[in-house]
Structure formats: structure tokens, C-alpha cells
Amino acid sequence: MTIERMNNKIDSIIRACRLIRKMNQSGPNARKSDILYYNMLEGYYKRLLSAHDNNNLIAAHTDFFPVELLYAMDIVPMHTEVTTWMIVLFTGEIENILASGSELGLVSEICTPHRGIAGAYANGVVPRPDMMLWSNLVCDNTAKSGELIVEITGSKGYFLDYPFKSSASEMDYLVAELGDLVGFLERQSGRKMDWDRLSHIVGQMNVQIELMRQINELRKAVPTPFSPLGFLQLITADYLCPGQPEAIAYLETLRDELSQMVEAGEGAVSNERFRLMSFWLPPMHMMGFLDRIAEEFGAVSVTEPFFTFWGEGELDPGKPLESVARKSYIIPAMRMFGPMDERAIGSIVDCVEQYRVNGAVYYANIGCRHTCATIKLFKDVLADVDVPMLTIDCDVVDPTVTSEDEVRGKLEQFFEMLEDR
């Protein structure tokens, strides 16, 4: 296998980011935050590509894995699910890697981000990780994907066991698990954890969370200033670069831009008509199309209770490991991981009120069963506060599941219904 072939998907992502960044820079309405966002992405994947040349190890990891620990040790993270999205978003190619995932014996019910990344490793189109880190946060796919990847790539693996609830003994358990993880990382890398650096990253995480809260506040404005599907950028910044300067630079700039727009009464779309709540991920291959629809119908996602609506609380840089554990309990997605209780359901109603939502769109990713199991529940909760919800069956990376025509038809009908109300 040649190096060119090994790295070609990551290369393509980097090239695409560079191109978009340059196009943004040369455009008349260049948004500095957009440039910084693509800069952040490009930097993330460049570090991945050059990790071995720089004598750094690569650690592949699943959703919400505490990568703060990796950054504190100069271990280069590679987010498995996000990398599958990025491959689709920037290269449009997914068929081959999904087919390779199936050839490994992964059946079609296993969600495409995981089938895809296993296929990508088997094909050698992404760099081989030195370590695979995975956890049961948030689903069975994250919990079960690691061992096969360890086997395919010949890497070392660590499974982080997240307790389901948040009692004191569960928190102690998680902190101790993180302690073991640090030991594992030290053994694999031959480096010691830099605790000062971790404390600094935790401190910066506070800054980052606060920025995201401020951005959320600004999104409450009517019209809302943030782009219709901009939440994907917010979650990407947190998933890939928590507590990192490039994420903070992006978020600070974005906050300032949004704040100016709010002051000027400017909205993200020219004629805001529908303020939407979004659940989960729209298909990556439809991003451009969905942006056009948003502009055409004046429909903007203003809140995402399980993606961007951060819980209360602050992290303590003086207790870095405990803080990393604690962060898991304030991330918005955590409300979907633990028991589906009043806290989780209450956050939906809170968001409706705070963001003046008049409709909700649920992207029902067919491979993502723990989310889809809540479709009816969320629909009923929203119906109680008089907010209709549209469900769009789709797949985040597989373009064969639904077509643009189908999605357009559904959205048009939904918007008409909202208008009639």
C-alpha cells in the first residue's frame, strides 16, 4: 500500500478545506469566522497526516472521548465518526468504504459512520492509528466498534467505561477509569501526562463552553444571526478541538460577528419565517442543498437541545481529571445517554421557550437507533407545547437512503403547514 493511497482521503479533506478557505478569503462578504473554522479543520487533519513524521502517536477515538487528555500529551486525535462525515462532506465518496465495512462482516444495521470508518481502515485510505480509544458514550456502536478496529489496524486499544447515571460512586468510577486511561496513554507514548498543560486545557474549555453559551444567547435574537445549519460547526469545534486555541479563536470571532449582526438587526437568512429546533444530523451530502432551502423558505435552526444547549456548571482547572469527567455530564449529548428523564425532556421544552421555536425537524438516521427511539416521545413532548415536528428518514453519510427531491417535498409540506398555523 503506497503512502499516497494510505492518506488520500485525509489529503482530500485538507485540500477541500484550503480551497474553501481561499474562496472565502477572496469573496466580497468574507466572514472571518468561516476562514478560522476551515483553518481549524485543515490544521486538525494536517496534524493527523504529519503525526508520525513529527514523532507523535495517532489515537483514533469515538464520539465524546475526552481528547483533552490527548492534547495534553501531544498525542494526535482522530475522531472516527467525524472523519467519516468529513470524507462525505468534502470528497462525496462513501460507497467504497461502506462496502469495505460490509466485507468485514459489519451488517447494514450498524450505523454508517462506524461501518464507514472500519471500512476506511481496512482499505488503508486513512492513516493507521497507533491506538484505538473508545467508550460506551453514547451508544452501542461507539461501545462495540473498538475491538474490530484494534484487530484490523493492529493498534493498541483502551475501552473507557462510562457509567450510565451520575451518582457519586459513578463519578468516582469515571475519574478512576480516566486515571487508568492516562496510565495507558503514558505506557503507549512513553511520555508522562503534562498535568499543568491539562489544567490549562481545562481552563480553556471553560472559556470555550462560555463562548458557546454566549453564541446560544445571540441565537435567541429575532431574526437569528447564525447560519441555518451552523450548529454543525459548533459541534465540530468541540468534538475535534476542545480547549484548543484555534477553536477558541473561531468561536470568539463568531461571537463578535453574531453580536454585530444582532445589533444591526441582521438575520442569517433574508426573510426569517420559521425558527426551527433540530434533532441530530442532516445528511452531510445535502448541506449545500439544505442551505439553499433554508434561504428559500426563511427557515433557520435556532436551537439543538442535545447538540448545543450546554448544561450548567463550570470546570475546575485545579482538578483536571475530575473536570474532564464532569465535562461529560454537562455536554448537551449527555442528556441522551443517561436515562431519558425529566432533565432530558425538560431541556426540549426549555429550548422551545427560550429560542421561540415554531417547528422542529428530526433527522432520523436509520442506523442510529438510540436516537430514533425518541421520535414519538419528542413529538409528543413538542405537541404539548404546540410545536409540530417533522421527521426526515435519512442517513448522515449514505446518499442512497433519501434523495433531495424527497427531502424537499417533505420540508415544503411542513413549511406550508407551519405557515397555515
Partner 1 sequence: MNSLDRFRKVNESFPMTDQILEHKSRGGKVFGWLCTYVPEEIIHAAGALPIRIIGYSHEANLDDADAHLYINNCTFSRSCLQLGLEGEYDFLDGVVGGSTCDGARRLFDIWRQYIGTPFHHVLTVPRKYTERAQRLYYDEIVAFKKHFEEYTGVDISDEALHQSTILFNESRSLLRRLYELRKRDKPPISGAETMEVLNAAYRMPKEIFNEWLGELIGDLESSDRACSGRARVMLVGSVLTNPEFVKSIEDQGALVVTDELCTSTRYWGDPVIIDNDRPVLESISRRYLNNFPCARMYPSDERFNRIIDFAKDYRVDGVISQIVRYCVPYAHDLPLLTDRLNGQGIPTLGLDVEYGTSGSGQVATRVQAFIEMLEARDK
Positions that interact with ligand SF4 (CB under 6 A): 63, 81, 111, 113-114, 138-139, 141-142, 365, 367-368, 371
Give the residue with the Cβ less far from partner 1, 151 or 419.
151
Amino acid at the residue 328: S
Q: Report what 107 binds from partner 1, ligand SF4, none; CB cut-off 5-8 Å by kind.
A: partner 1
Pairing of strands 299-303, 156-160: unpaired
Which value, in Å, is the radius of gyration of the alpha carbons in the chain? Answer: 21
Q: Which stretch binds partner 1 (CB under 8 A): 14-22, 81-89, 294-302, 373-381?
A: 373-381
User: Toward partner 1, which CB reaches closer, 176 or 222?
Assistant: 176
Q: Does 384 bind partner 1 (CB under 8 A)?
A: no
- The yes or no reply on residue 369 touching partner 1 (CB under 8 A) is yes
How is residue 278 written as a grid cell? Answer: 433540530
Out of 374, 382, 402, 414, name the contact with partner 1 by CB under 8 A: 374
Q: Report, in Å, the least distance between residue 285 CB and ligand SF4.
A: 15
Nearer to ligand SF4, 31 or 370 (CB): 370
Q: Decide if residue 394 touches partner 1 (CB under 8 A).
A: no
Residue number with CB closer to partner 1 (349 or 375): 375
Per-residue x/- mask for partner 1, residues 117 to 146, rule CB under 8 A? Answer: -------------------x--xxx-xxx-
Determine how many CB atoms are found less than 10 A away from the CB of residue 293. 18
142 binds, among partner 1, ligand SF4, none (CB under 5 to 8 A by kind): ligand SF4
**Which residue number, 113 or 332, has a Cβ lying nearer to ligand SF4?**
113
- Cβ 363 to ligand SF4 shortest distance, Å: 10
Q: Please, what is the minimum distance in Å from the beta carbon of residue 109 to partner 1?
A: 5
Residue 187 binds to partner 1 (criterion: CB under 8 A) = no
With CB under 5 to 8 Å by kind, the binding choice for 177 among partner 1, ligand SF4, none is partner 1
Is 340 one of the binding residues for partner 1 (CB under 8 A)? yes
CA distance 155 to 165: 31
Q: Which is nearer to partner 1, 182 or 368 (CB)?
A: 368
For residue 295, the partner it binds in partner 1, ligand SF4, none, with Cβ less than 5 to 8 A by kind, is none
How many residues bind partner 1, per CB under 8 A? 41
Residue 366 interacts with partner 1 (CB under 8 A): yes or no: yes
